[in-house]
Amino acid sequence: MTYKTQKFKKPIESADYKTASDFAIKSIEAIVESAITKGENKIIVNTNLKLGLPMENINKIAGPFVEAWAVETFKNVFDDTNNKWNLINVEALARLNRADLLLQFKRKSKIQSIVTAEVDVKATAEDFESSGKSPNITSFARIRSAYIEDPDYLFVILSLKHKVYSTKNDKTGLMDGIMEVVKYNAYDIKYLSDADINYNPALGTGQIQIKDIHYVSLEKRTAWEFCQLLDRKYLASSKRDFKSWLTLAKSNGWIK
pLDDT digits (tens, 9 = 90+) for 80-100: 989 999 999 999 988 778 899
Least confident of 21-25, 81-85, 164-168, 250-254: 164-168
pLDDT grade, residue 237 (50/70/90)?
very high
What is the rounded distance in angstroms from the CA atom of residue 8 to the CA atom of residue 201? Answer: 23
Mean pLDDT of the chain: 90
When divided into structural domains, the chain yields a total of 1
For residue 5, being part of any structural domain is answered with no
Q: How many CB atoms lie within 10 A of CB 194?
A: 11
Mean pLDDT calculated for residue range 218-240? 96
CB 245 within 8 A of CB 231: yes
Mean pLDDT calculated for residue range 202-212? 91
CB 203 within 8 A of CB 177: no
Output the DSSP codes for 234-256: HHHSTT--HHHHHHHHHHHT-B-
Q: What stretches of the chain show up as alpha helix (H) in DSSP?
A: 17-37, 59-79, 140-149, 223-236, 242-252
CA atoms within 13 A of residue 168's CA, in its CB half-sphere: 3
For residue 192, being part of any structural domain is answered with yes
For residue 11, being part of any structural domain is answered with no
For residue 111, being part of any structural domain is answered with yes
Domain that holds residue 53: 17-252
Residue 132 has pLDDT above 70, yes or no: no
The tens digit of pLDDT for each residue in 43-70 reads 988 877 777 777 666 777 788 889 999 9
What is the rounded distance in angstroms from the CA atom of residue 182 to the CA atom of residue 78? Answer: 22
Q: How many CB atoms lie within 10 A of CB 227?
A: 24
For residue 8, being part of any structural domain is answered with no
What is the rounded distance in angstroms from the CA atom of residue 111 to the CA atom of residue 105? Answer: 14
